[in-house]
Amino acid sequence: MSRKVGFDRFVMEFAGPVPGYDVRYVDKPVTEDPSNRTIAVLGDRVLRIRLDPASGVDLTSSTAQPSYEGRNRLAGPGQVIVEAVRLGDFESILQWGLGIKTGTHAFRVSTLTKPSRLVVDVAAA
C-alpha cells in the first residue's frame, strides 16, 4: 500500500494472470470466509476485494505451499485506507477488505502486467 497525492493505493501481485475480481463497498460487520466469524476492520466502511479463482496457497504441486507469506492485517497509509485485512481464502476465492477512514470514497480498479497486478486507488476526497 502507498499514499499518493489525492489517493491511497492498494496493490496485489500475482504469479500468473490477474484473476477475475469484484471490488465494492460492503456493510459492516464483515465475516471471514468460510468460518463466518466476524472480523473487525478499522474505519467507517469496508471496500471488499474478491478474487476468483485465486488463493494464497499454491495447489499445483503434491504438497500445498504458501504463495503469500505476509500478514493477514496490514496498516494502511492512512490518508483514506486505514488498514487491509484478509477476509478469507477458501475454495479458490480470496478476499481482502480495505478499511476506509470515513464515508464512501470513489475508487478506481486497474490491472498492470510484468508482473501481473491488481491496483485499487481510493480517492481522498
Q: Encode pLDDT of 107-122 as tens digits.
A: 999 999 999 999 999 9
Rounded CA-CA distance 76/28 in Å is: 18
Domain residue spans of the chain: 19-104
pLDDT at 114: 95
Burial zone of 71 (CB within 10 Å; 0-12 exposed, 13-18 middle, 19+ buried): exposed
pLDDT at 76: 95
Torsion of CA 67, 71, 77, 83, to 10 degrees: 110
pLDDT tens digit string along 52-111?
999 888 877 788 888 888 899 999 998 999 999 999 999 999 999 999 999 899 999 999
Torsion of CA 45, 111, 13, 125, to 10 degrees: -30
pLDDT at 10: 98
Q: Average pLDDT, stretch 19-37?
A: 95
